[in-house]
Amino acid sequence: MSVQVMVNGIPGNMGRIVAETCVARGLELVPYSLTGEIIVENEAEVAGKTIQLLKPSNREARIGEVLEKYPNVICIDYTHPTAVNDNAAFYVKHKIPFVMGTTGGDREALAKLVADANHPSVIAPNMAKQIVAFQTMIEFLAKEFPTAFSGYKLSVVESHQKTKADTSGTARAVVGDFQKMGFDFTVDDIEKVRDEKEQMERMHVPEEYLGGHAFHTYSLDSADGTVHFEFQHNVCGRKIYAEGTVDAVNFLACHIANGTARPFNMMDVLRSGKMR
C-alpha cells in the first residue's frame, strides 16, 4: 500500500514541486492542503489532482473528514515561517505524523513540542541530502576539533529568492556549529541577499533561477588576513529539496509501520542509508 501524503503550502512553489515529486515517486497525494488565510482560491490543480485548500479559519472543522478518508496520512509542511509553530501544534493535536520543511518560527519551541509528545516527525532546516552531509561534517569538526580555527574571523552570506521572508535555516544551523568552535558570530550577523541585481552580479545566480535558488558562502579568515578558507554550497531550483522530502516521508512511514516512530531529523534519515 502506498504512503498517503498531504502536502501543505499549496499553491506555493515549494508545495507544488513537492506534490509533483511525491506522485512521481509513487506516493498517494491526498487532495487536501493547509494554506494561508490570504489565499483567495479554495482549490488548486496540482499533479493532475484537484486539491482542496483548508485555511486556518476552517481547518479544524474539516480535518475530521480528511482523517476519516485518510487515517494514515503523513503531512508535509512547506508553508510560511509564521505558521510553523501553529501548524506543528495542529499536527500534534490531531496525531498526524509530519515532515517539516518550512524554516523559521520558534525552533526551540518546535523541538520541545514534538519531544514532549514523542510525536512522529522529521524536522530539518534543509532536506537536501548532500547539504545535510555537509552540515554533519561541520558538526563533526566542531565536536572533534573545536580550536582548529582559533583566532579566525567568520563571515556568512546567503542568497535566496526575494520572496523568502526569513534568514536561511541552513545558515542558522551551520552558524550554530561554528559558534561551538568559539566564533563570536550570531544569526543576526548572517548577511541576507534578496536584491536580484546583487544576486546576479555579486553572487553569480543565473537569471533563470532568481525565483528559486539557495546560495551560501561561509568564509574563515586568519587574524592577519594571510589565510582564507571558504565553504560554499549553491543550489539552483527546488528539486533537490523535494527529493529529500520524499526520502524523509518514506523513512518516517517505515518507522511508523515498525512501531519505532519518534521525532527525527534529516541526519537520522541520511544515516539510515535509505535516501535515493
pLDDT tens readout for residues 166-201:
899 899 999 999 999 999 999 999 999 999 999 999
* CATH code assigned at 142: 3.30.360.10
Is position 119 annotated as part of the catalytic site? no
Asked if residue 60 has pLDDT above 80, the reply is: yes
Domain count, the chain: 2
Grid coordinates representing 10? Answer: 499549496
* CATH code assigned at 73: 3.40.50.720
- 119 and 140 fall within a common domain: no
Q: What is the mean pLDDT of residues 131-144?
A: 94
* pLDDT recorded at residue 2: 85
Question: What percent of the chain has pLDDT above 70?
Answer: 99
What's the number of CA atoms in the CB half-sphere (13 Å) around residue 158?
23
pLDDT grade for 247, boundaries at 50, 70 and 90: very high
DSSP state of 247: H
Residue-wise over 129-149: b if at least 16 C-beta within 10 A, else e? bebbebbeebbebbeeeeeeb
User: Residue 240: which region, alpha, beta or left (left: phi > 0; alpha: psi -120 to 50)?
Assistant: alpha
Is position 164 annotated as part of the catalytic site? yes
Considering 160, 162, 192, 233, which one is annotated as catalytic?
Answer: 160
Question: What percent of the chain has pLDDT above 90?
Answer: 95
Q: What span, in angstroms and rounded, lies between the C-alpha atoms of 222 and 115?
A: 40
* pLDDT recorded at residue 275: 64
Considering 119, 164, 213, 216, which one is annotated as catalytic?
Answer: 164
Q: What is the mean pLDDT of residues 59-84?
A: 97
Q: What span, in angstroms and rounded, lies between the C-alpha atoms of 184 and 161?
A: 28
First-to-last alpha carbon distance for the chain, in angstroms, is 20
**Contact by Cβ (8 Å): 124, 99:** no
- Look up the domain containing 16 and give its range: 4-123+239-272
Q: What is the mean pLDDT of residues 12-31?
A: 97
- 119 and 32 fall within a common domain: yes
Question: How does the average pLDDT of the chain come out, rounded?
Answer: 96
Omega before 11 cis (within 30°)? yes
Q: What span, in angstroms and rounded, lies between the C-alpha atoms of 65 and 144?
A: 51
Asked if residue 162 has pLDDT above 70, the reply is: yes
DSSP strand pairing (228-236 vs 121-123): unpaired
Per DSSP (E only), the strands in 139-207 are 153-160, 191-193
DSSP strand pairing (49-54 vs 263-264): unpaired
- 263 and 217 fall within a common domain: no
Task: Give how far the C-alpha of residue 67 lies from the chain's centroid of Cα atoms, to the nearest Å.
Answer: 24
CA-based angle 105:246:38, to the nearest 5? 45
* pLDDT recorded at residue 14: 94
* pLDDT recorded at residue 246: 98
- 29 and 48 fall within a common domain: yes
Residue 270: count other Cβ atoms within 10 Å of its Cβ: 21
The pTM assigned to this predicted structure is 0.87
* pLDDT recorded at residue 165: 80
Asked if residue 274 has pLDDT above 70, the reply is: no
